């Protein structure tokens, strides 16, 4: 059996290899985009805000969403672009 920590490390490594563009876009948005309007675009909440990418080819084009609305979008559009 593979130890749990090794399985986790391998899963993370595979995820990173398969999501290079996504991870680069997230890092760039996190470092370059300050949230100056600290409210969710949809519900107005100011708790646990996320930067949501519609398209990773445009890493600085993000929607500011709360955790709940961000989850709803990913459940409704799991593999499609949003909007």
pLDDT in tens, 27-47: 999 898 888 889 999 999 999
CA distance 17 to 60: 22
DSSP class per residue in 24-80: HHHHHHHHH---SS-S-TTT---SSEEEEES-TTSTT-EEEEEHHHHHHHHHHSSSS
Number of C-beta neighbours around residue 66 at 10 A: 20
pTM, to two decimals: 0.68
Question: Across-strand partners of 50?
Answer: 65
pLDDT in tens, 50-67: 999 989 999 999 999 999
Res 36: pLDDT: 81
**DSSP assignment, residue 14?**
H
Banded pLDDT at 1 (limits 50, 70, 90): low
């Amino acid at each position: 059996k593979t130890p749990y920590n090794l399985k986790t490390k391998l899963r993370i490594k595979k995820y990173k290899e398969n999501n290079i563009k996504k991870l680069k876009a997230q890092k760039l948005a996190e470092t370059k985009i300050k949230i100056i309007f600290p409210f969710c675009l949809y519900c107005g909440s100011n708790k646990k805000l996320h930067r949501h990418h519609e398209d990773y080819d445009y890493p600085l084009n993000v929607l500011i969403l709360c955790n709940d609305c961000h989850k709803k979008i990913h459940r409704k559009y799991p593999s499609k672009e949003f909007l």
